[in-house]
């Protein structure tokens, strides 16, 4: 057991820090305009890529560095420590492509995903298929060398900005519901794809609904075998749940520092209750970080992420939402009168953390199954 960096890890961390301290775009977190923010995120993605910081744990043949996933963890940590813009989350789409794509597809799709040239969204959920994802109704009918897709997807986050989509559709209406689903890699610019933003409670267009009308997809853009879509989807969401994979810990630390500064500005640091609450927020972040380090270690030693990811997902949602409660308690009425701009939006953005990627209730169901409880 050793939580310290190895010599190579320490060296990597040091040069990363130096690079970050001269490269992070000043004032990136003050940008109000959503399109501007999206542009900046894309640019940051390319900057990271050019410096070799994208796909650290990906095989070299697909543009990665072939390092252990521990390096992804270091990248996450340092970006958080130095207040860098959010890391692009290529991990879970990339993972699905790695694990299930043919050689040709890997060469075609992985490099531009990594470089940020092409951004992706995830078209799984539908209006009638949320937790019960396997009941999805969007169909892909084979027509010679194409599939023809029809249906409606909902909650396709980033759909309005994405170039490509990892899409789930039913290819065999007669098969049992988990077996008749296939996965596809589809361009969002195909004729018949219509995207409409969904504004969440924060007032921001965080996600989107996408209509698929007779969209033609070449057969060679099916990912995996026909009927393998469910397995692919489960792999994706399992990786999506690990907070270490998606830069959550970095974001949490950044927000905690902001909340601490908020309490200081408001002269609340002498109050024992505030001090305790801030310390508790620190402890929650630490517990989550340490839990993720253990999971990362298990992965490094060859165990794929399993239902333990549900533990981290629940801890993550709780930490994130509790931190927003704390900010709300510190700000009092100012969060409701518009004086403290942005915090109400952050609060509402924390709410769906316990909904997306499998709701908190679904995570508990998964844990109960892992504990082998009766069904």
Which positions touch another protein (CB under 8 A)?
Answer: 1-6, 9, 70, 73, 260, 264, 269, 272, 275-276, 278-280, 282-283, 286-288, 290-291, 293-294, 296-298, 300-301, 308, 311, 314-315, 361, 363-365, 367-368, 371-375
Strands 146-153 and 193-198: unpaired
Please say which residue, 93 or 330, places its beta carbon nearer to ligand FAD. 93
The distance of closest approach from Cβ of residue 264 to another protein in the complex, given in angstroms and rounded to an integer, is 8
For residue 340, the Cα-to-chain-centroid distance in whole angstroms is 27
Q: Token digits for 75?
A: 């990248």
Distance between CA atoms of 369 and 248, rounded to whole angstroms? 26
Contacted by 83, from ligand FAD, another protein, none: CB < 5 to 8 Å by type: none
Contact residues for 25 (Cβ-Cβ < 8 A; gap 6+): 40, 43, 44, 85
C-alpha 343/C-alpha 325 separation (Å) is 10
CB atoms within 10 A of CB 174: 6
Which residue number places its CB atom closest to ligand FAD?
130
Among another protein, ligand FAD, none, partner that 207 touches (CB below 5 to 8 angstroms by kind): ligand FAD
Segment (H or E) for 292? helix 272-300
The three state secondary structure string of 296-353 is: HHHHHCCCCCCCHHHHHHHHHHHHHHHHHHHHHHHHHHHHCCCCCCCHHHHHHHHHHH
The residue from 77, 78, 126, 240 that is catalytic is 240
Judged by beta carbon, residue 156 or residue 295, the one nearer ligand FAD is 156
Torsion angles phi and psi, residue 189, rounded to 5? -95, 0
**Nearest alpha-carbon partner for 121 in 17, 55, 9, 197:** 197
Closest to ligand FAD by CB, 255 or 350:
350
Q: Which of the choices ligand FAD, another protein, none does residue 269 contact, using the CB cut-off of 5 to 8 A by kind?
A: another protein
Helix (H) or strand (E) holding 181: strand 181-187
User: Does residue 240 carry a catalytic annotation?
Assistant: yes
By C-beta, is 107 or 369 nearer to another protein? 369
297 vs 359, beta carbon nearer ligand FAD: 359
Work out what residue 260 binds among another protein, ligand FAD, none; the CB cut-off runs from 5 to 8 Å by kind: another protein
Residue 367 CB, nearest approach to another protein (Å): 4
Q: How far is the CB of 315 from another protein (least distance, A)?
A: 6
**Taking the complex as a whole, how short is the minimal distance between the CB of residue 344 and another protein, in angstroms?**
25
For another protein, the closer CB: 8 or 341: 8
Out of ligand FAD, another protein, none, which partner does residue 130 contact, by CB within 5 to 8 A per kind? ligand FAD
Residue closer to ligand FAD by CB (options 65, 197) is 197
- β-partners of residue 129 are 126
Q: Which residues contact 328 (CB under 8 A, 6 or more apart)?
A: 335, 343, 347
Q: Which residue from 215, 201, 246, 220 is spatially nearest to 352, judged by alpha carbons?
A: 201
Q: Which residues bind ligand FAD (CB under 6 A)?
A: 122, 124-125, 130-131, 155-157, 200, 206-207, 352, 355-356, 358-359, 361-362, 365
Min dist CB 265 to another protein, Å, is: 13
When CB distances are held under 5 to 8 angstroms depending on the partner's kind, the choice from another protein, ligand FAD, none that residue 300 binds is: another protein
Cβ 64 to ligand FAD shortest distance, Å = 24
DSSP 147-177: EEEEEEE---TTTTT-SEEEEEEES-TTS-T
CB of 267 to ligand FAD, least distance (A): 35
Task: Give the catalytic positions in this structure.
Answer: 240
């Amino acid at each position: 057991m050793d939580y310290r960096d190895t010599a190579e890890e320490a060296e990597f961390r040091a040069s990363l820090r130096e690079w970050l301290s001269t490269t992070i775009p000043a004032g990136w977190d003050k940008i109000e305009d959503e399109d501007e923010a999206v542009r900046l995120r894309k640019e940051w993605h390319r900057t990271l890529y050019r410096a070799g910081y994208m796909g650290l744990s990906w095989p070299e043949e697909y543009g990665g560095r072939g390092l252990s996933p521990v390096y992804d963890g270091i990248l996450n940590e340092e970006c958080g420590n130095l207040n860098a813009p959010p890391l692009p989350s290529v991990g879970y789409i990339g993972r699905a492509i790695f694990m299930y794509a043919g050689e040709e597809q890997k060469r075609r799709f992985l490099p531009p995903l990594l470089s940020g040239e092409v951004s992706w969204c995830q078209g799984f959920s539908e209006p009638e298929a949320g937790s019960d994802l396997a009941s999805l109704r969007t169909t892909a009918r084979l027509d010679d060398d194409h599939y023809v897709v029809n249906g409606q997807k909902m909650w396709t986050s980033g759909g309005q900005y994405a170039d490509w989509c990892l899409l789930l559709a039913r290819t065999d209406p007669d098969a049992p519901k988990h077996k008749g689903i296939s996965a596809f890699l589809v361009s969002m610019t195909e004729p018949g794809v219509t995207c409409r933003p969904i504004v969440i409670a924060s007032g921001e267009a965080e996600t989107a609904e996408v209509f698929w009308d007779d969209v033609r997809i070449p057969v060679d853009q099916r990912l995996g075998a026909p009927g393998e879509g469910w397995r692919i989807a489960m792999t994706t969401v399992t990786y999506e749940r690990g907070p270490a994979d998606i830069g959550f810990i970095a974001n949490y630390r950044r927000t905690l520092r902001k909340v601490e500064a908020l309490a200081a500005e408001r002269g609340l640091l002498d109050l024992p209750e505030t001090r305790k609450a801030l310390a508790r927020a620190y402890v929650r972040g630490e517990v989550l970080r340490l839990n993720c380090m253990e999971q990362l270690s298990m992965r490094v030693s060859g165990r794929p992420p399993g239902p333990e990811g549900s533990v981290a997902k629940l801890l993550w949602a709780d930490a994130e939402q509790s931190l927003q409660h704390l900010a709300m308690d510190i700000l009092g009425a100012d969060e409701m009168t518009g004086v403290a701009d942005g915090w109400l939006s952050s609060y509402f953005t924390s709410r769906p953390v316990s909904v997306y990627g499998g709701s908190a209730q679904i995570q508990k169901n998964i844990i109960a199954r892992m504990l082998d409880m009766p069904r």
